[in-house]
Amino acid sequence: MTAAALTISRDFTIGDVPRRLFGSFVEHMGRCVYTGIYEPGHPSADAEGFRRDVLDLVAEMGPTVVRYPGGNFVSGYNWEDGVGPVDQRPRRLDGAWHTVETNAFGLHEFARWSKLAGTEIMEAVNLGTRGVEAARELVEYANHPGGTRLSDLRRANGAADPFGIKLWCLGNELDGPWQIGHKTPAEYGRLAQEAAKAMKLVDPDIELIAVGSSNFHMPTFGEWEYTVLNHAYNEIDYVSMHAYYQEHDGDAESFLAVAVDMDAFIDSVASTIDAVKARGKHKKDVHISFDEWNVWYQRGLDTDDQPHRVSTAWREHPPLIEDTYNVTDAVVVGTLLNSLLRHGDRVRIANQAQLVNVIAPIRTEPGGPAWRQSTFWPFARMAELARGRILRVATRSDRIDTAEYGDADLVDASATWNEETGRLALFVANRGLDADADVTLALQGFDVKRVTRAEVLAVPEGGDRFSANNSGRPDAVGLRPLGGIVHDGSLVTLRLPALSWSVVEFEVV
């Protein structure tokens, strides 16, 4: 039996829960857009071709902001191709994913979909093959009320009101040799600075995200952030981070501890931001946008130049990286969400990549059903219940020994307190593959009146850690009631099944 002791104090908080922490990502890649969120002729499709079955699942999942249109795709994308009458839009070759882009879906369609989904738009501009002028013009087209060529063109294309997009990504992964328009840190830093200045001259209220490192292990990591920030600190508001994780060679213990790597990655970027702020004697803060993260099984990929091996045939929206997620993956996603929440004072935006079909919590079949993957559940519950203030969780836990990250806590937790509703939410994972975990929760400054929610995702009866959902068994893995919780004033005890992620919400005074 594993044991852990958690201590939470009303007086020790990290900051307010950033609602943009629960973001997602829609890229023109594979079937994320076409036969994902958009499929004219589908039985559930509305008059605009949006799949209502997917919209219903998106509403249940609760993403607050969605990044669009890429990703690698954006570094070769002309935004003008996706506006105007659909039958007049050009078909293009997308070099990033070796596909044919029809441009049947573009900015106007995404803006209307986003409004139906209740999500904020996070728009990326092409700083790979294009630059300052195209970025400036896109802001004018999207956000200026009218009376200029571009804003009047938007109105003529059916959007009388501006889209009012506040969040803008200054390119994507331009530190990576695989990226169209790959740049050195100095080249990108100057381009980001000038693009940011031009974009804010059009709309001074926008918030800008500079490209950070594509992962913690890039050869330019650290140097990239330091150089870019030294160029563009005054003009930007966030620097991005990207990270994907997978299980290697059956090493489940290391996989279950990957949030240790995410913790270290965030801390390193935060330290670099602080160093540049001090060196430049800057007054304002630059925050982190962790705008791509997830579990991704990068099987057989050529990592020297291209992280993505693609088909030699040019096709419209072929299936790409449609990973099926199991119980282990869901527990890992829960711990990654814990890491992001624990760093909510520095990470103000995060986007799980992607929303539908492409390494996604939601899957669809063309012309057929949509269903939730196992990873849907930790995201949905945290997006719903993580509100108010982020509480510091002091953890004393038995340890798990890993080949990649040394020893790590077997029990991983984060927590929030919503003073308005009097609810305290605990999000907790048991990384142990075989043993249940007895957890003692000591509250300081809180007394528990009652448990209002207690759910666990674990290995289903008759299943194993590789159990997963599919179109025929969409509910094989999900949340079930977590029983056996005992509370007496400020002391709570609970037992977590082996390999599980749980959410417990308390009404406290």
User: Which residue, chain included where needed, has tokens 């573009």?
Assistant: 106
Going by C-alpha positions, the residue among 461, 469, 400, 405 that lies closest to residue 435 is 400
Which of 478, 481, 442 is CA-nearest to residue 460?
A: 478
- 435 half-sphere exposure, CB direction, 13 A CA radius: 13
Contact, 68 vs 124, CB < 8 A?
Answer: yes
The C-alpha angle with vertex 246 and arms to 228 and 371, in degrees rounded to 5, equals 105
- Fill in the amino acid letter for 333: V
Q: Which of 105, 84, 133 is nearest to 28 (CA)?
A: 105
Distance CA 411, CA 429 (A): 6
Three-class DSSP category at 149: helix
CA dist 25 and 22 (Å) reads: 11
225 is catalytic: no
Residue 262 identity (one-letter amino acid): M
> Quick one: tokens of 143?
């956000």
Token reading at 218: 């890039």
Task: Give the list of residues 6+ apart from residue 23 with CB closer than 8 angstroms, or none.
Answer: 63, 64, 65, 66, 67, 122, 291, 349, 350, 351, 352
Catalytic (active site) residue 173: yes
**Which residue of the set 101, 123, 247, 292 is catalytic?**
292
For residue 406, the tally of other CB atoms under 10 A from its CB is: 12
Bridge-based pairing of strands 389-397 and 411-418 is antiparallel
Residue with tokens 């803060």: 285
Record the tokens describing residue 238, joined without a space.
């966030």
Burial of residue 93 (CB within 10 Å: 0-12, 13-18, 19+) is exposed
H/E element, 442: strand 437-444
Angle of helix 185-202 relative to helix 132-143, nearest 10 degrees, comes to 30
Angle at 116 between CA 113 and CA 121, to 5 degrees: 55
Q: Which tokens go with 74?
A: 């954006």
Query: Catalytic residue among 39, 109, 140, 173, which?
Result: 173
Nearest-5° Cα angle at 10, 8 to 14:
80
Can you tell me which residue has the tokens 């920030």?
229
Catalytic residues: 173, 292
